[in-house]
Amino acid sequence: MFHSPGRADAGWLAPKKLLRQPVFLGAVTLFFILIIVYQFSIDIRASRGASITGDEPFYLLTTQSLLQDGDLDLTQQYERQSYREFFDHPDGLWRQSLPTEDGRLLSPHNPGLSVLLLPGFVAAGLHGAQQELLVIAALTWAFTFVLVARSVGASLVSWLATLAVALSATGFIYSTEIYPEMPAALMLVLSLLIVQGKDRPGTLSAIALALTLTAMAWLGVKYVPLGMLVGGYFLLRAKQEGKGTLLVLALPSAVAYVWFHLATFGELTPYSINTVYAGDSTLEVANSHFTFGDRIYRLWGLFIDQRFGLIRWSPVLLLALPGVIAMVRSGPLPRLMLSLIITQVLIATFVAITMMGWWFPGRTLATVLPLFALPIALVLKQAPILLRAAAAILGAYSLAITAALAHAGRTSEITIAVDPFAMSNDIFQATARLFPNYTAWGNETVILTIVWLSLAAIVMTKLSLPYLMAAFARISGRKAHTGRYVLRPH
C-alpha cells in the first residue's frame, strides 16, 4: 500500500530516489501523454457560428475587463466590441445579465476562473487560455493517479484506470473548455491528497487545505458543498492544532467571500444578476433551481441518456458501478470520495437547471469525474482475467468514441455544444438503441430504463450480499447467545 512519508522514510523524496518511484514516473508520463492528446480538443468549434459559446465568452470577457479597465464592469468591452478578439460570431456577443442599480454590467459568474486565466490570456488570448486550461487538466489527472495509486496500492491498474477516465469523451473535451469544472477538479483532488497524507494532519495540512477549498469556492459557489465534505473529513481526523488552524483560516475566508459578493453582486451568489433571475434574492434563485418530481430521472439519466449520458460516451465508466462496493469497504478516504460523487450527482439532479444545456455532455459531473478512476482501479485490481478482458474492450471502445469525436469535431461534422451526438461514426451509433432518450418518454424509453435499472440492481445486490451477510454474522456473533451455538466472526 502506498503511504505518505513520515520522518523515517522521508528519504525517498530525495531527487534521485524520487525519480525511481513508480508513482512519480507514472504521474509524469501521464501528464505528458495528456498534454499531447488534449491539443486535439482545442480546434473543435462549440457552435456553427462561434468557436466558443454558452458561458465561455463571459468568463473571458471578465478577464479582458480586468486587463483593460482593472474592474469587473463589462460596459466598455461591449461598447468597444473588444470581445471580438476571442468571440467570432458574426452577430456579436449577447448579454447574459442586466445592469446593476449603479449601472455596472457584470458577468453572472464567480470571478475565480476569470482571474485564473489572466496569464494565458495575456500570453495568447483565447488560445493561451485554452493552453493554460490544458495544462491544468493534465495536472489534474497526474495528481489523480497519485491519489488513486496510494489508495489502491497497485500502480499499473491505477495508471490504466486514470488514463481511461482522462481519455473519456468528457475528460477530453473539458480539458480546454472555458469552464471552471476542471480547475475545480484539480483543487478537489489536491484537497484529497492533503487529507490522505497523514493519519492525524496538523497545521501545515490545514493551511494547504484552506487554500484549496477557498479556491474552489471562488471558482464557483456550486463547489462549496464538495469543499464542506472534505473540510468536515479533515476536522474529524486532524490534530487539535490542525482543526484550530483550519477553523481560524476559514472564518476570514468566508467573511471575505460573503463581503465581496454582497458588495459586487448584491447577493451571496452572482446568479441574481442573470437575465433569467434578475432581481431575485439568493433564496429565490435557489428555490427556482431546486425541484424534485420532474428531475428524478436524472439520477440515472446523467449516465445512460442517449445524448447526454456519461456511459453513452464512455462505456468504460460502467466499471465504476461494481467498484462502489469496494470503495465502501476500502477505508475512510474512499468512502469520502464516494460521498463526493454522490453529492455531485444529487446537485446535478436536483439543483442544476438542466443536464441538456448548450454544452458537451457530462459538464455537471466533470468536477468529480477524476474520482471515478478509484472504483475502476479497485475493480481491475481484484478482477478475474475475463473481467479484465471485458474492461480492455470497454476501454478500447471508449477511446474509439473519443477519437471519432475529435475527428468529427475537427472536420466540422459536429459542434461540441450543439450537436455532438449527431456524429455519424458507426462505432458511436452502433449502441445508440441501447440507451433511453429522455427527450421523448415513449414505451422504448420506459422499457430501456427498466432494463438498465434492473441490471444495475442485480449487480449491486450480488456484490453487496456477501458483505451484508458477513456484517450480520458479526453483529449476531456479538449479541446472539441462544442455545448451544454462538456466532462469532472468524
Digit-coded pLDDT (tens) for 70-116? 999 999 999 999 999 999 999 999 999 888 888 999 999 999 999 99
Mean pLDDT of 236-246: 93
* Predicted confidence (pLDDT) at residue 23 exceeds the cutoff of 50: yes
For residue 181, tell me if it sits in a domain.
yes
- Is residue 338 domain-shared with residue 297, that is, in the same domain? yes
User: Does 253 lie in the same domain as 333?
Assistant: yes
Write down the pLDDT at residue 56: 97
Query: Terminus-to-terminus CA distance in the chain, angstroms?
Result: 24
Same domain? For 417 and 341 the reply is yes
Q: Report the pLDDT averaged over residues 53-80.
A: 96
| Residue carrying C-alpha cell 451571496 | 268
Within a domain: 179: yes
User: What's the gap between Cα 389 and its chain centre?
Assistant: 27
Task: Looking at the structure, tell me whether residues 464 and 410 fall in a common domain.
Answer: no
Give the residue from 379, 400, 423 where a domain finishes.
423
Residue 91 maps to a domain: no
In tens, the pLDDT along 283-318 reads: 655 565 556 667 899 999 999 999 999 999 999 999
Answer yes or no: is 344 within a domain: yes
Output the pLDDT for position 359: 92
Q: Per residue in 431-467, pLDDT tens?
A: 999 999 999 888 999 999 999 999 999 988 888 777 6
Nearest to 188 by CA among 162, 165, 209: 209
- The pLDDT of 344-373, averaged and rounded, is 93
Asked if residue 249 and residue 372 are part of one domain, the reply reads yes
| Domain assignment present for 128 | yes
Q: Which of 404, 423, 442 marks a domain boundary?
A: 423
Specify the long-range contacts of residues 46-52, CB closer than 8 Å, at least 24 apart: 46/415, 46/416, 46/417, 46/418, 47/89, 47/358, 47/415, 47/417, 47/418, 48/415, 48/418, 49/89, 49/90, 49/91, 50/87, 50/88, 50/89, 51/87, 51/88, 51/126, 52/86, 52/87, 52/126, 52/178
Residues 466, 392 share a domain: no
Contact 137, 174 (CB under 8 A): yes
Residue range 275-284: average pLDDT? 60
Q: What is the pLDDT of residue 199?
A: 75
**Average pLDDT across the chain, whole number:** 89
- Residues 187 and 235 both lie in one domain: yes
In the structure, what pLDDT confidence band is assigned to residue 8 with cuts at 50, 70 and 90? very low
Q: What is the DSSP string of 448-471?
A: HHHHHHHHHHHHHHHHHHHHHHHH
> Does residue 365 belong to any structural domain of this protein?
yes
* Domain co-membership, 138 together with 252: yes
278 and 352, same structural domain? yes
Domain span holding position 334 = 17-43+120-423
| Same domain assignment for residues 311 and 196 | yes
469 in the same domain as 338: no
- Whether 65 maps to a domain, the answer reads no
Residues 358 and 473 both lie in one domain: no
**What percentage of the chain has pLDDT greater than the value 90?**
75
The count of domains in the chain is 2
Question: What pLDDT sits at residue 277?
Answer: 59
DSSP H or E run through 10: none
User: Does residue 8 sit within a domain?
Assistant: no
Q: What percent of the chain has pLDDT over 70?
A: 88
Q: Specify the pLDDT at position 487.
A: 34
